[in-house]
Every structure is written in structure tokens, then in C-alpha cells.
Structure 1
């Protein structure tokens, strides 16, 4: 998380798979040696200076490293013109590869779609061996280009983990402030055709499973090597009930045996089959899920139709929510805006639905990917799509850019601009505990929707010049100013959290009280309500006990299914010591504990 003294990265699973398969050919194993896997962005000039006559330099390309890869590749080519530059990955555009190669003359080959077989054949081709270059775009001879065939059998594909390809990386970062997590793929492909996604479209539409022995060995490897966090690369975990249940039990047994992996994340089966709750229960019982996250994207029927998304069965979803509540595991849903067919009003209704059942929406702007259907001109014209370049943050050497959707034929750019500021206000102030008790009180007592509360909240600060207003003024025109990415988790949130939550906490809560008095129904519990909210977060960052007097059972009324009883009640807000070796300040702690809500104090009734 931003502000943590630790950096969490990933072992390079995709390129590891490609190199592992390449070595199954004896000639390649004899003639080629992999120098190292680069997993951290470093000074490109220094990297190039340290290279020793590289023959082939390969890049796995996606939105988070695309421009950095291009910069590094160009510098490698300038210093070592005979070095062969190979690009692959989702950000290499399949249908516009010719233009991509024309724009970047330092790239010699582009490997499209699945890379194992195509890359092996390319290496053989470079040795002068006859080979099928299907799926490889060649700069110097592309007259006979043809797409690669889908890999029909994944059984022969060796594991980079069990081959020891990542052992040196694990040793390199052991005992440092860098933790490398693992990616495991138990199946590949997705039968769904969501138009915003490049996963299930085209050649990866049919799901192929990995050999169970390989999966078992990889999970065992993660346990033995103290891998803290594992991400499953499956598009629809839980689709194969018996198999995925077996995998879940394997994970639980491995954690029991080694203490690792500690936690994991998966992309659940899109249709949320009943088996999901059973599989999730196994992982919950083992403490492997720190949150249960489901990709809803939207609840609007027209939008679901436009994006070709079959949504989740609610009965199953609510069963999982109940199981998570019993085990104190937070539930989150992924939402996207704007989407074709969705209106600003309907998007607000979706937000309200989930906040009403105390499920955390994680709201992201829709990013248009070059190999998704949404990127195609016909789809763009049909739905009136407009996208703009949006900065996703700078590193010292280059800026990464994503194509952010900002307008559809059902949501104008102005509507999106405002609805995303609303989403920012709810997520930043409600989900992190700055204003949630106040909003819940007015929701329960006055039937005020959460989006109504937070619409008034952000507009009040946007239109005035209070201390907190600067965190809204900056985003008045975030679309045109290319600041949309700042609204869904960045260093800017960290600064705001430390400012409003720590350094100027009393000032912010005075401003919050002023907002409530001037905009919401007059209420006799306002002072006690603000006092409870002020003491809800563990802002002292240390052990503490604060006593709060109320004329009624205010906290219980807000947080449980009980009526307001007018009887003097004393509460005690109890905070525990924060692990400062993990969280260097209040803001970092908030961001790191967003889902488990460990930022909250325990509010107890005093005897």
C-alpha cells in the first residue's frame, strides 16, 4: 500500500512460463541462457550500462509498464543495436500490430496472444532452424503472418516455480523491504465476452485446465518458500466445483503445514454458482481470504446487456456475504464507471444498494484496453464512447498512460466527472471511517440515501474554501486535468488522510459539524454523533481509552438492528497499539486496513 515501509511485488509468472517451455527444446537449452528476470523498475540508463552484450531482450507489456518498457527497449537498442527486442503481453495490440511496430522501430518481433509455443519457435527461427512463426509479427519479413493457434493441451507446460527459475529472485529479496508474491494459474481462458476485457475474447474463449500435479507442486513451493500472498490468475475460480474444492483444501493444508501462504485472492466465477459459497467457506476457515471480492461492474440491465456481462446470482452472493460476516471477513464488489447503457442516476442506485447492505464498493474508471471489443471503432460508434489519456502516475523516468472512458451515449463527460467525485467522496470518507457513522445515522433516522448525503458533502466542500476543500477543488475538472486516477487510490489519498485524520483532525470535524448543521435536518444528537465519529478511527496510533457520553444508545442504534432508546449511555472507545514497523503513519495504516477495518477502535458500553 501507499506509504507502507514495505513494497509488495510479484514473481514474473508469465515470462517464467514462456522461458520454462522454451527450455523443453534441447537446442534452445544448449544455445540460450537467461541472464535474469527484472521485476523492479530501475534507472534505464543504469540497467543498460550493466548489460553484457545481450543477444535477446524480452518485455512483458501491460498498462502499468508499457511506456517504461518502450523507453528501456529503445535505450537497449541504441547501446546494443544487434540485440533482438521482443515484445509480448496484453498491451501489444493484436489488430493494430502493424501500426504498433511502425511506431516503435526498435522492436524486432511481437508475440501475440499465448506466448509459450510462439516464443519457442521464434528462438529456433533465430538459430536458423525451420519453425512455424504463427502468432509472431516480424519486422523484416511479415508477408506470411498468421495468428497463432490456441494451445489445446496445457499438460506439457512446465512450471517456472518447480523448475527453480524464481529461486534466485526469492533469495535476492529475502530479508529486504521487498516481498515478492506469487501468481498461480490453475486454468486458462474465459468463456465470457465482456466487452471491456481482453481475457475471454478471441483465442482465449475456451477454458483449459492445468495439470493437477503441477498445481499441487506450485502450492507446495509457495508454502516452502514462505510466499505470503498468492493471486490466482484464473478468470473464473469455482467454475470447476470438485477440482477447485480440492485446490482450496490443498491451500488450507499447505498453510497449516508451513504457515504460508498467509492470504490469497481469486477472480470468482462470473455467474456465482452455488458451489462458490462452499469453496469460499474452506478458504475462509483457513484464514486465506482477507476479503471476498466480486466483480459486479454494474447492476443496470441496459449496461449489462451492452457489455455482454452475465451478472451474479444474488441468492448465492448473499449466502457468501453471510458466511463472510460470521467469520469477520469483509466483502467488496468491483464497480466500473462509465459503462455504455449506464446513467448517472442508475450508477448512484448501484452504489446505494451495496452501501445499504454494508458491502464495500471498489469503484474504478473504465479503462479501454487495446485488445478488448470496447476498443473497436464499431463498438465505439454504437455506444458513443469517448476516451481520453489519463496519467496513472509517474516514475522518475517516464509516465504511464491509460485510456480512460469519460463519456457514453447514456452518460455525459460532466455527469461522469461529477459521479466519480461522488465515488471518491464516499470511498475516501465513508469506507475509511471519517464520516460513515454520521451518514449511517441520517440514512437510518431520516431515510437519506448515502449518495444524497455524499453528493451534498462533496459539493459543500467544493463550493467553499474550508481546510478540507482543497481535496475537492483539485478534482473540479479531473477528466480534463487528467487527474481521474488520483481519485481511486494514490499518494494523494495518503496525504489527505494524514492531514485531515491526524494533523488537522479537530479542524476537519469542526468543518464536518458545520456541514451537517447547514445542510441536514436539525438533530439533538449532533454533538454526540460527531464525538463518536471523531473517536471511531484509531487516530492516536497508540493504545488509548476515550469515554463518550450520550443521551441514548446512539452507537448501537447506528451499527445494529436496534431502536433508539432515550437512556443515558456511556461508551468507551478502545484503541490498540499500531504496528509501526508495518505502517509508518496514520494514512498508511488507513489504506492498508481498508477492507478489514482494523483502523477502527472498539466502541464498548461502559458499566
Structure 2
């Protein structure tokens, strides 16, 4: 066979376009997959092969814009790194390239291509092969064939290829994957990254960072463990040390760790120290570090989390629990991950005043309305009251939950919807030509109906507003710790009975229920609501954020409804009226002026009471607060948000400096700086409190 001269390779890995919580245009990440593949070829491929690697596609835009830099250039091999957030864009890129260069070999990899579907290649004729699992070895072998003039890939393991007409596709067998990771693609391709950073001085880049591959778990909703379920493969420490030094020297802003369980290995404590040392040596770079903590190693996970919190590189800890009920966890193949061990870590974090977020999945097959209510109440009983991140169950094509056997067993019902950032969406949702793939969302199963899903979603919004955002959190804690009223009874009664019964709050509950029913029925629906009282607000809000704004716009009326219900429901509770008034006085509103602060009367020392309550779970009772006759409390907060233990207020805290704004603008500033932040008492209630006088 004659050798092909000048093989040109392009790797496409456009980032998402769904908001700052994803790999998106507003927070760009250094392209990584292209460097992984190129470095592996340069170290393991033929050194004399005439290959030209084009700079990768990384910015998501219209396909013609993404391909414009390569105009007139022949592309021989196109590699696609495919995820949910870029799959639609990748298909358009592949179709454009194939139309212009019919002989181009297009190889798709990553977790999104549905290689199980025998009709895949008929649906996507512009793709020639799917590479499964790790791509380095497979892609190196593909290139070796191409530069040798051979396009028959049937002897390259790890590929799905088109079969004969009406015969589905062919699988070439399990892939060979790397077992030694002794070189860094970042260091190998430093020249490219320096050019990239230099050409975009206005952007603050993040990067993906690996120290292991593999996951010992196989949760049904996740394609992480399902694709890598095996012994964890470790990267060499010298490579890790070099990359950490590199990210500091390059002033990388944000590091997203790709390890499934950081803290699973003893050496991970040393890696945490290396990251903190990089900040000390390189002007606080990297500034932020996000990771998925080990699930069953509480001592090590705690040690690492505290190190990060004290340095300020990671100022919160994620409790990746998904659900609390054993039957639901077992149904999603997660029973081998102990919630109790994770909660042990979280309690240590809370005692140290490290902000905590709780990652939950709404709509797991096996769940019910009652079990979901119990799940949220369990968290409260464990003493975890902040920032429940309740994500819909999104069906990933290569996760175990997408298998026909799982779908049939659980009678799974789904809808396809384009989803965006979890907090807000700009009012002007104008098509920008960027392709977006709808998420497949689970909305029913044999244990819950679509109407149950509506009730679960509505209840979740109320819990997020009332408890996480602390419109009633302090009241609920007082009733639990001093009067033995369970969180489940308190909120089930309040949300299921009292809120719908009153005209004002009932209208909110109806709006939420109607919204979620519309989300189920309308293919074009988005999970956001407009605040009609603020017509100039430039964005729509997630239903829970919308509900919080409604409550604050009508705070007096809301607390009148709340007070009437609680007094009738708990007539013998001694200091209930005092607790309700104290909770109301804590709520930060646009009327607050941080220059003068706020002063309000109290008849009990609620400041001390709730400081003592902060680290208690539901099994640890607390006496009534101490009476303080004629006392005044002064709130002097200048910022909203958790203070943490590092002294670094930059990431979560926002200034409360809207006093010079016009009235409606003041509401928008208040929304920007509190409502769109963490759903926590620290973000929505005053914290800098002191008693300034007693009678």
C-alpha cells in the first residue's frame, strides 16, 4: 500500500452552552482531549509519519464559524469528543466536514454516542467509527492505519463500525487502554497552550485535571462507572507534580478534577498539599478547585476537604448522596455507597463552618412522593440544612439505566427537553445558531406517575425556599430541637396542607404545579418562570428562585399566613411567636441599607440558641432560649453568603450595596446578589448579629 502524504488531523471538542455550571463558553476550559491524543501519538506512533495536527475546535458556535479557521484545508481524520452538552454541535461539525471532504475518516468518542443502537450509523452517516472507553491507544492505531494508506479498521480493537446493510453494526472487541500515565499532555503541548492563552487575554481559562482513571462503583444513572468499572488506574506522581506546578505557572483560574473519587487513595492527601502549595508559590493559582470526593473514605475525605477549605481553593464540600432511602439507592445500584459515611464527613465540615451542598437526583425509578419527602427530612434530621441541589434524572445513552432491561423493569417514562443553568435564563432566548441536544429526563416509573413527578417537583421547590433559603428554617429547627416536632411532620403539613389552602400561597403552589405540568406536555418548554411584578428583570428564574422572590415581594402577607397556620397547629409551643418574628427579621430584603444596618427587638437570645443549634442533629434536644427583656439586635452585614474558614469571601459572598439604586433596580441587584447564589441561610439571612442592649 502506498503511504499517504501529509495526513491532516482535526480534533473537535466544543464546550457546552448551557450556563456557568457546565463546560461552557462563559468559563472556557483548555481543550484537553486533543492534547491527550496528540501527545500519545507523538510518544507511541511512528515518528516519521507526516501528520499535521490542526489546532482543535474548542469554542462552541455555529458549525460554519467553528470550521472557518480551517477553510480550504483538507481534513483527513476528524476526531469528535462527544458529551451530552456538545453532541448536537458535533454532529453538525461532522456533517459539514464530510460534505466538504467525503474521504475524511470521522471517529466519534466519549460517553455520548449510543454505540448500543444498531441503527446508529444509519442515523449518523457522517460518522465512520465509534471509539469506546479510553481513546489514546485506539486513536493511535487508527492513525497508524491511515498514514499507511489502510482504512480497514476491523482489526483495531475498541471500535463500533458500520455493518452490512440491514445488519446493524460491528464491534471489533474490547479496547486496549493505557495502564501507564507517565507524561503530561499539558506539558507536551505547552507551546499550543501559551499561544491560546496569549490570543485570548480577556478570558480566564480552567482546565481538566486527572490523577486516576476508573471507578469502583456502577450506579445505574451514571456512565462513569459503567464505562470504567475496574481497578483504579493511577497516574505517575511525577506527572501529577509537574502538572500542578504547570497550572500554577500558567495562572489557570479554575481546575475541574476528572477523578471519580478523589480521596480514595492515601496519596491523595499529598496531592491536596501540592495544590495548596501551588497557590502559595504562584499568586493564588489555581484559584478554585472542584472535585468529586471519595464516597467510602470519611477520614481521608475530611482531611482533604479541610485542607482545601482552609486554603480557600475549594470553599465548599459536596455531599454526593443522590437519595437517603436504602430501597431507592438499591434500585439505582448505589447501595454499596454508604450515606452514613458521607454524612460523617459533612458534619465535620459544618462544625468547621465549611459550606456544604447536597447533590440529589429527583425522580429515581424506585422513588415515591412519600420516600422523597422522607429523603429531604432525613437530611434535616442529620443536621444538614443548606443548598439541596435537586437535579432531574437525566438518562445518559450509555448508562446502565438506558439499557432496555432497566427501562422495561422500571417502566420508565421520559421527555426530551433542552435544559439550561439551574438558576436563571435570559428573557431573550433568541436562537444563536448553537446546536443544543435535549436532555432525556425521567418523569415516571412503576413507583411514581407523571402527576407524582409534578408533586415531587413542587414540594422540592417549597423545601428549597422555606428551609434551604431560610424563610422557615429557624422555626423548624426550634420546633424540632426544643419541642420534638419532626421535620417531616412540619414540612409535610406546611407544604401539603397550609400553603395550598391560603389564597396567596395557594396561588404560588398552583403556579408551580401548572408550570411543571406544562413542562411535561410542551416539547418547547423551559424550566423557568417570569417575575411579573418586575417587568424589567432581564431573565427568567428557576421555579424555586421565582418562589423565593414571590415570598419576599409579599413578605408581610406570607408571614401572616405562616403565623396563622403555626399558631393553630402548635398552640402550646411557648415561644413560637417569638421564633416566627425572629425568623422574619432575619430575612435580607432590598430595603436593607448596609451603611446603617438593621436594628430589631427580641425577647429571647435567639443568636446564642441558633449558634448552639447549628451543629446539632434532630436527636440532640436544646432547651428554650434565654429570655432577654427589652433587648435589641443589630445586623451589620456588608455581604451575603458563607464566610467559610479561609477568610476568602470572593467566591460565594456578594456585596449588599444596592442602597443607591432605584427601587426596581434594587430588586434586581438583590436578586443578583442573593437569590441567584447558594440556597442557604447564610446567603438569605443576616449573619453579623449582636445584642446591643437589654432592659
Higher mean displacement: 333-342 or 131-140: 131-140
Query: Do structure 1's residue 451 and structure 2's residue 491 form an aligned pair?
Result: yes
Shift of 1:332: 2.2
The 1:588–1:257 alpha-carbon spacing in structure 2 relative to 1, beyond 3 Å, is same
For 2:121 and 2:79, the matched residues in 1 are separated by 15
The equivalent residue for 1:257 is: 281
Query: Do structure 1's residue 290 and structure 2's residue 352 form an aligned pair?
Result: no
Query: Do structure 1's residue 564 and structure 2's residue 625 form an aligned pair?
Result: yes
Higher mean displacement: 41-50 or 252-261: 41-50
Query: Do structure 1's residue 112 and structure 2's residue 132 form an aligned pair?
Result: yes
* Structure index of larger Rg: 2
The equivalent residue for 1:486 is: 527
For 1:147 and 1:579, the matched residues in 2 are separated by 57
The equivalent residue for 1:389 is: 416
Query: 1:368–1:375: 8 Å Cα contact kept in structure 2?
Result: yes
Q: What do residues 410-455 of structure 1 show as CA deviations (whole Å, max 9, x unaligned)?
A: 2222212211221122224532345544554555566252532344
Shift of 1:220: 0.9
For 1:154 and 1:596, the matched residues in 2 are separated by 47
Higher mean displacement: 541-550 or 413-422: 541-550
The equivalent residue for 1:151 is: 177
The equivalent residue for 1:423 is: 460
The equivalent residue for 1:548 is: 600
The equivalent residue for 1:121 is: 141
The equivalent residue for 2:26 is: 7
For 1:341 and 1:374, the matched residues in 2 are separated by 12
Q: What do residues 76-111 of structure 1 show as CA deviations (whole Å, max 9, x unaligned)?
A: 433444444332110012322x42221011223322
Residue from 502, 505, 515 that aligns with 1:474: 515
The equivalent residue for 1:180 is: 205
The equivalent residue for 1:57 is: 78
For 2:524 and 2:591, the matched residues in 1 are separated by 31
The 1:458–1:106 alpha-carbon spacing in structure 2 relative to 1, beyond 3 Å, is farther
Residue from 245, 255, 271 that aligns with 1:220: 245
1:36-435 aligned within 5 A: 36-52=55-71, 53-55=73-75, 56-96=77-117, 98-128=118-148, 132-139=155-162, 145-156=171-182, 158-164=184-190, 165-174=192-201, 176=202, 178-202=203-227, 204-241=229-266, 243-258=267-282, 259-313=284-338, 316-356=341-381, 357-360=383-386, 361-393=388-420, 396-397=432-433, 398-435=435-472
The equivalent residue for 1:513 is: 559
Shift of 1:193: 1.5
Q: What do residues 381-422 of structure 1 show as CA deviations (whole Å, max 9, x unaligned)?
A: 222222221221476223421111112222222212211221
Shift of 1:460: 5.4
Shift of 1:348: 1.2
The 1:293–1:442 alpha-carbon spacing in structure 2 relative to 1, beyond 3 Å, is same
The 1:238–1:507 alpha-carbon spacing in structure 2 relative to 1, beyond 3 Å, is closer
The 1:244–1:597 alpha-carbon spacing in structure 2 relative to 1, beyond 3 Å, is same
For 1:400 and 1:460, the matched residues in 2 are separated by 40
For 2:196 and 2:207, the matched residues in 1 are separated by 12
Higher mean displacement: 147-156 or 110-119: 147-156
For 1:483 and 1:428, the matched residues in 2 are separated by 26
The 1:127–1:598 alpha-carbon spacing in structure 2 relative to 1, beyond 3 Å, is same
The 1:240–1:407 alpha-carbon spacing in structure 2 relative to 1, beyond 3 Å, is same
Query: 2:414–2:441: 8 Å Cα contact kept in structure 1?
Result: yes
For 2:392 and 2:543, the matched residues in 1 are separated by 22
Shift of 1:351: 0.7
Shift of 1:296: 1.2
The 1:201–1:470 alpha-carbon spacing in structure 2 relative to 1, beyond 3 Å, is closer
For 1:334 and 1:179, the matched residues in 2 are separated by 27
Query: 1:461–1:472: 8 Å Cα contact kept in structure 2?
Result: no
Contiguous gaps of at least 5 residues in structure 1: none
The equivalent residue for 2:669 is: 585
Query: 1:293–1:333: 8 Å Cα contact kept in structure 2?
Result: yes
For 1:74 and 1:445, the matched residues in 2 are separated by 65
Shift of 1:336: 1.2
User: What's the secondary structure of 2:243's corresponding residue?
Assistant: helix
Q: What do residues 559-597 of structure 1 show as CA deviations (whole Å, max 9, x unaligned)?
A: 54352344333111222164599x993333233444694
For 2:48 and 2:285, the matched residues in 1 are separated by 33
User: What's the secondary structure of 1:529's corresponding residue?
Assistant: helix
Contiguous gaps of at least 5 residues in structure 2: 1-17, 421-428, 530-537, 614-622, 640-653, 658-665
The 1:521–1:119 alpha-carbon spacing in structure 2 relative to 1, beyond 3 Å, is same
Shift of 1:305: 1.9
CA RMSD in angstroms comes to 3.7
The 1:151–1:47 alpha-carbon spacing in structure 2 relative to 1, beyond 3 Å, is closer
> How many residue pairs are counted as aligned between the two chains?
599
Query: 1:216–1:250: 8 Å Cα contact kept in structure 2?
Result: yes
For 1:28 and 1:264, the matched residues in 2 are separated by 37
Higher mean displacement: 208-217 or 108-117: 108-117
Q: What do residues 534-575 of structure 1 show as CA deviations (whole Å, max 9, x unaligned)?
A: 653364686240111123334554554352344333111222
The 1:27–1:343 alpha-carbon spacing in structure 2 relative to 1, beyond 3 Å, is same
User: What's the secondary structure of 1:290's corresponding residue?
Assistant: coil
For 2:276 and 2:301, the matched residues in 1 are separated by 16
TM-score norm. by structure 2 comes to 0.76
Shift of 1:533: 3.2
